[in-house]
């Protein structure tokens, strides 16, 4: 149900993703006949999403209002903020606004889908203002774990809404580009209707450490390494790549880049002047055997233990060109993404089996977060001093904790809005409330299929993975109802057929005995025969071995 407030007098903020989850960030602002969108991100599948490649937001609400969408504003270039664009743009194709590196990453992504020449990308700089319909958006510089991060000050007929994007208050950023507290303060002095703030690290006390501490750790570790050094990091973290390069150059090492996204992102960042790599430092894979081990540093993707990544293949001793040897060092310079802990632990164990020394977040300061901790979040609240507060970018507990934090600095509980995906946060005459909801949810991408796999299919996949499948093939004379072939039993993931032939023979006998007592009218209706086979086998399997496989009767009428 959508809200009943007059369309012309209501600002509607509608999150379609990112509230109640990490990833899938997307929110729209609607007033009258104008809509602008903030971010368009994806989420990587959770463990129960068997076979799913990606998850994107459900844009049914926007699809019906495509002619009202004036533009998409991107806060930064991480996948959870830009990754859904190739799947959304065929339905919505407004201009896209973002900082230079953000749009550099977007352009490369759109090339893969042959959309790069069909989409208008408009580069904006910090403190630029863009007017679209009734909205005016100012870009505000913020520090994050990626270059060119930005917050947005969105001026609406109801007042200013500030969306922080992902941020932290790094006082010593690698590129010396500080979070623009002066602009946040300017808006705070003038009056802010609502603040939408990053909740990712709300459970962490104190302040988030500076990115420069990672560089200091590299400078400390590199000179002590006698063999090759392999650093695994996210390819979008250009500051991290820069610090690895700096440490490699200082310790007399050449740098090998590995991984398609690492090569692409480094090339984009170098061309745009965001990454400084001296001439002669980068080498290609074919040069690796010619260099002494103590002169090599490799920067690779695969820090999350992805099965097909180069780092995993190296750890499993399954890489054709790169073999780990005793004395080599591997640095996992990224956080353990929730849900990946076991995979990463297995990766670390395999690296140790190869004889490598391994550094990771739990044992060394080789990674720091890009998100603000409690004291920084409080400072943002106190600088902006919003009338209303809406926590974003976090699981449900993060949103709740962030509201508690906001109340601790003086924002009344009645002005803290705990919204989830699909809620309509409506502002009229300075008053804000949740005033209904729109269709929202998750759309699964499996191969080239978008949205054709739903919860029912996932349930079937889970069922198959747990108890396997039994196919029962029977040929029936259409005229007499007589079984002239079968039943033939084929199983997958249920029992090992070669060692269970006696049990399968008993299964065939159960089917034959059951069908021999069925009247000819039922035998003439193959749907009825299928139901009867399923019913008797479910009972038989549950009683004999307490398993519930997927049962697929195949009836051939002859």
Q: What's the pLDDT tens digit per position in 63-95?
A: 999 999 999 999 999 999 999 999 999 999 899
Average pLDDT over residues 520-526: 65
Inter-axis angle of helices 100-112 and 260-271, to 10 degrees? 140
Statement: residue 150 has pLDDT above 90 = yes
- What lies within 8 Å, CB to CB, of 332 at 6+ separation is 232, 303, 344, 347, 348, 358, 359, 360, 361, 366, 367
The rounded distance, in Å, linking the Cα atoms of 191 and 135 is: 17
Average pLDDT, the chain: 88
Query: Could you count the other beta carbons within 10 Å of the beta carbon of residue 176?
Result: 6
Statement: residue 49 has pLDDT above 70 = no
Q: Between these two residues, 521 and 394, which has the higher pLDDT value?
A: 394
447-505 pLDDT, tens digit per residue, is: 555 655 555 555 665 656 677 888 888 887 766 667 777 788 888 777 766 667 788 88
Nearest to 442 by CA among 67, 202, 87, 69: 87
Statement: residue 46 has pLDDT above 70 = no
Out of 8-22, 39-53, 218-232, 363-377, which region has the weakest mean confidence (pLDDT)?
39-53
Residue 3's pLDDT is 42
Q: Between these two residues, 415 and 9, which has the higher pLDDT value?
A: 415
Residue 467's pLDDT is 75
- What lies within 8 Å, CB to CB, of 539 at 6+ separation is none
Read off the pLDDT band of 391 (50, 70, 90): very high
Nearest to 157 by CA among 316, 6, 350: 6
Query: Could you count the other beta carbons within 10 Å of the beta carbon of residue 399?
Result: 23
% of the chain at pLDDT higher than 90: 62
Average pLDDT over residues 155-171: 97
Q: Between these two residues, 399 and 471, which has the higher pLDDT value?
A: 399
The rounded distance, in Å, linking the Cα atoms of 528 and 523 is: 7
Statement: residue 543 has pLDDT above 90 = no
Task: Give the H or E element holding residue 444.
Answer: strand 442-446
Average pLDDT over residues 356-364: 84
Statement: residue 418 has pLDDT above 90 = yes
Average pLDDT over residues 529-557: 82
Report which DSSP code applies to 362: T
Average pLDDT over residues 545-558: 79
Average pLDDT over residues 132-144: 97
pTM comes to: 0.82
Residue 89 contacts residue 109 (beta carbons within 8 Å): no
User: Alpha-carbon torsion 152, 156, 158, 159, what sign?
Assistant: positive
Residue 521's pLDDT is 63
Read off the pLDDT band of 269 (50, 70, 90): very high
Q: Between these two residues, 390 and 49, which has the higher pLDDT value?
A: 390
Residue 94's pLDDT is 95
The rounded distance, in Å, linking the Cα atoms of 184 and 235 is: 30
> Any idea which residue has 């209303």 for tokens?
388
Residue 7's pLDDT is 46
Q: Between the CA of residue 46 and those of 18, 306, 340, 347, what are the distances in Å?
A: 15, 14, 10, 19
- What lies within 8 Å, CB to CB, of 404 at 6+ separation is none
Structure tokens at 301: 């993707």
Q: Which residues are catalytic?
A: 198, 371
Phi, psi of 413 (to 5 degrees): -60, -35
- What lies within 8 Å, CB to CB, of 105 at 6+ separation is 77, 82, 236, 265, 268
Domains of the chain plus CATH, in order, are: 7-206+369-450 (3.60.15.10), 212-359 (3.40.50.10710), 468-557 (3.10.20.580)
């Amino acid at each position: 149900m959508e809200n009943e407030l007059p369309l012309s007098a209501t600002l509607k903020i509608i999150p379609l993703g990112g509230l109640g989850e990490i990833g899938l960030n997307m929110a729209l602002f609607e007033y009258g006949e104008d809509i602008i969108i903030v971010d368009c991100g994806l989420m990587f599948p959770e463990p129960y999403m068997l076979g799913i490649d990606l998850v994107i937001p459900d844009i049914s609400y926007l699809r019906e209002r495509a002619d009202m969408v004036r533009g998409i504003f991107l806060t930064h270039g991480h996948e959870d903020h830009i990754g859904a664009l190739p799947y959304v743009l065929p339905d919505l194709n407004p201009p896209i606004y973002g900082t230079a590196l953000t749009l550099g990453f977007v352009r490369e992504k759109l090339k893969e889908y042959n959309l790069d020449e069909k989409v208008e990308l408009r580069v904006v700089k910090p403190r630029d203002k863009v007017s679209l319909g009734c909205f005016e958006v100012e870009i505000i510089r913020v520090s994050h774990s990626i270059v060119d991060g930005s917050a947005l000050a969105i001026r609406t007929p109801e007042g200013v809404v500030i969306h922080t994007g992902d941020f932290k208050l790094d006082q010593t950023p690698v590129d010396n580009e500080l979070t623009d507290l002066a602009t946040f303060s300017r808006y705070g002095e003038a009056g802010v209707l609502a603040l939408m703030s990053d909740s990712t690290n709300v459970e962490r006390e104190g302040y988030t450490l500076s990115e420069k501490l990672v560089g200091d750790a590299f400078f400390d570790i590199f000179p002590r390494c006698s063999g090759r050094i392999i650093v695994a990091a996210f390819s979008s973290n250009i500051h991290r790549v820069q610090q690895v390069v700096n440490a490699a150059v200082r310790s007399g090492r050449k740098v090998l880049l590995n991984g398609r996204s690492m090569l692409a992102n480094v090339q984009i960042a170098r061309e745009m002047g965001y990454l400084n790599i001296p001439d002669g430092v980068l080498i290609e894979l074919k040069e690796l055997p010619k260099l002494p081990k103590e002169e090599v540093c490799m920067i690779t993707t695969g820090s999350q233990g992805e099965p097909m990544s180069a780092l995993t293949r190296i750890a499993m001793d399954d890489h054709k060109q790169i073999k780990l040897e005793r004395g080599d060092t591997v640095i996992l310079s990224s956080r353990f993404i929730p849900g990946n802990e076991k995979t990463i632990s297995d990766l670390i164990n395999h690296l140790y089996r190869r004889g490598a020394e391994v550094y990771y977040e739990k044992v060394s300061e080789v990674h720091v977060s890009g998100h603000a901790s409690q004291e920084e979040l409080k400072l943002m609240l106190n600088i902006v001093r919003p009338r209303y507060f809406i926590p974003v970018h976090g699981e449900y507990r993060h949103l709740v904790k962030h509201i508690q934090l906001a109340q601790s600095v003086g924002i009344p509980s009645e002005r803290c809005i705990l919204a989830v995906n699909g809620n309509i946060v409506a502002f009229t005459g300075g008053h804000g409330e949740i005033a209904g909801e729109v269709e929202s949810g998750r759309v699964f991408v499996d191969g080239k299929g978008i949205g054709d796999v739903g919860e029912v299919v996932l349930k079937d996949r889970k069922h198959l993975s747990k108890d396997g499948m039994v196919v029962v093939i029977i040929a029936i004379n259409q005229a007499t109802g007589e079984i002239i072939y079968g039943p033939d039993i084929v199983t997958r993931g249920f029992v090992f057929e070669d060692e269970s032939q006696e049990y399968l023979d008993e299964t065939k006998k159960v089917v034959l005995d059951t069908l021999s007592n069925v009247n000819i009218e039922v035998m003439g209706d193959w749907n009825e025969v299928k139901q009867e086979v399923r019913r008797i086998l479910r009972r038989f399997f549950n009683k004999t071995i307490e398993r519930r496989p997927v049962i697929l009767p195949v009836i051939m009428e002859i």
